[in-house]
Amino acid sequence: MVDSSPLTSALPAKPVRRVASRREQGVVFAVSFLFLLALEALFRRFTPDGLRFQAWNSERMMQTLSLRELREEPVRSLWYLHIQPPLLDVFRAVLAWVHGALDSAALVDAVDRWTYVAWALVFAATVTLVFTWVYRLAGRPAAIVGAGVTALHPGALAFATLLDSTAASALAFLWFCFELWKLKREGGSIARLAAASLVLFFVRSIFQWPFFLLVALCLVLRSVPLRRVGRYLAVVTLFAGPYVAKQLALFGTSMTSTFDGLNLCRAIGQGEPDLGGVRLPPHVLPASLPSPSSAAVLRQDEKLGGYYNYNHLDALRYSVGLKYVCRRALLEQPLSVTLASFAENASLYGEPSSRYQPHVLVDRLPWREPLDFVFSSPMLWLLLLVTGVPALKRLEDRAAWLRVAGLVLPVLFVVVVSILFEKGENMRFKYFIEPVLLVFLCVEGSRLAARVLARFSTDAVPVKPHDSSVVR
């Protein structure tokens, strides 16, 4: 049997194999890349500084190291990075080295300008992968629709011009889901799935090492032999394991980010508590931490432009203290308060992803309102329900349901983490799964449209009284 949808596992009849040609993929990539560059050129005159479409430069981002340290101590800075996974700052360190002769303000501008170019490539790759996946499942017309909607999606345009890793994370998750979908009992590639998983691990903090265990479960549900599951775990452990060990040895955590305390407090409605009046037990704070002299990123209070350096050791201690405050709050505050906070997070998650921050380009798009309506609550959930129920009805047996569960679990994982561990930026995290949801909606929408057209064409044919093929 061959998958006929991102969720369903089999067709009653043998499907026709469809594969987009390299030429078609190249055209889609080039057109979408040039489309974004043209939009940026058109709307850049509205930017206050002639460069950025949002108010924040890359130095202002909480999750980034300062370009000053990345230029002067690249290896040491990345080794002592604890606020986020390293891939974004590895990229910024390369740009800082290339433009090392520039002064502070010019360096930030140069790095941000080339980041926009890189994110345009990510945007084009996202559009192309949506096109490729939909093409395989529903043919060229549906794939063109999928690519067009992706390219016009206000959220995609907003995050392709945001100087953090959101756009790259969405592309990596789309690639991961594509490889997971292709991975059947003997088909697909464990190496590519592992590579996509590792990119997620090293680019976004919600994909921690427990995510690898979830993926292994998904492989089992999709009837992948245990030897291949073991191969997947071996590959991701080989590359992610040393980094986890490094974080544990240096900072006392196996996670790639130390913002978990802050995020947890926000998620349950505690905001950003002041620890001045909190007496922390002696065992709460890490017993040993690197010396501030180990790297400038651990001791510098400010980044370029005067923005606070969250990689400072004091910020690390603050975050660890917040985890203790969060645990105590969960035990002391009424359950109804915690659940109400989660409900608020879920409501924020349903808002249009493009509304994350004011945006010079996206705020002026004439097609923004209808697409934001489609990609937000309640319309998005209604569309998924309308297309998902028929897809689930086509499942034939328990094995098919399990294979579907193996595809859905990673998406649900992102949804749950985005609601239970964040407050305020939840709609931004929704964009991580929106390209995947768009693939599903295009494929199932194409199937429903074909069914409706077939019914109309059947109704239009004159029927003889003795014709037994009539659907009554």
Structure letter (DSSP) for residue 1: -
Q: Is 384 exposed, middle or buried (0-12, 13-18, 19+ CB in 10 A)?
A: middle
Question: What is d(CA 3, CA 223) in angstroms, rounded to the nearest whole number?
Answer: 13
Residue pointed to by tokens 């931004």:
428
Handedness of CA 307, 311, 313, 315 (dihedral sign): positive
Question: What is d(CA 216, CA 399) in angstroms, rounded to the nearest whole number?
Answer: 17
Closest by CA position to 381, among listed 445, 449, 441, 431: 441
Which has the higher per-residue pLDDT, 360 or 472?
360
Which has the higher per-residue pLDDT, 283 or 386?
386
> What is the rounded average pLDDT of the residues 36-52?
95
Question: Out of 13-27, 99-113, 234-248, 285-299, which region has the weakest mean confidence (pLDDT)?
Answer: 13-27
Which tokens sit at 84? 């986020």
**Residue 205 — pLDDT band, cuts 50, 70, 90?**
very high
Handedness of CA 385, 4, 198, 74 (dihedral sign): negative
For residue 290, pLDDT over 90 is answered with yes
The amino acid at 249:
A
Residue pointed to by tokens 């300008």:
113
Question: What is d(CA 280, CA 318) in angstroms, rounded to the nearest whole number?
Answer: 11
Closest by CA position to 264, among listed 219, 340, 316, 329: 329
| pLDDT at residue 186, rounded to an integer | 66
Question: What is d(CA 9, CA 137) in angstroms, rounded to the nearest whole number?
Answer: 12
Predicted TM-score (pTM) of the model is 0.92
Question: What is d(CA 396, CA 400) in angstroms, rounded to the nearest whole number?
Answer: 6
For residue 471, pLDDT over 70 is answered with no
Helices (H), ranges, 394-433: 398-420, 426-430
pLDDT tens profile 133-190: 999 999 999 999 999 999 999 999 999 999 999 999 999 999 999 999 998 766 789 9
Closest by CA position to 430, among listed 361, 363, 345, 359: 345
> What is the rounded average pLDDT of the residues 210-216?
97
> What is the rounded average pLDDT of the residues 74-102?
96
Residue pointed to by tokens 């409900």:
343
Which has the higher per-residue pLDDT, 81 or 455?
81
Partners of 302 in the beta sheet?
Answer: 308
In this prediction, what percent of the chain has a pLDDT beyond 90?
Answer: 78
CA distances 72 to 158, 292, 350, 451, Å, are 31, 16, 42, 62
Handedness of CA 382, 125, 348, 53 (dihedral sign): negative
The amino acid at 419:
I
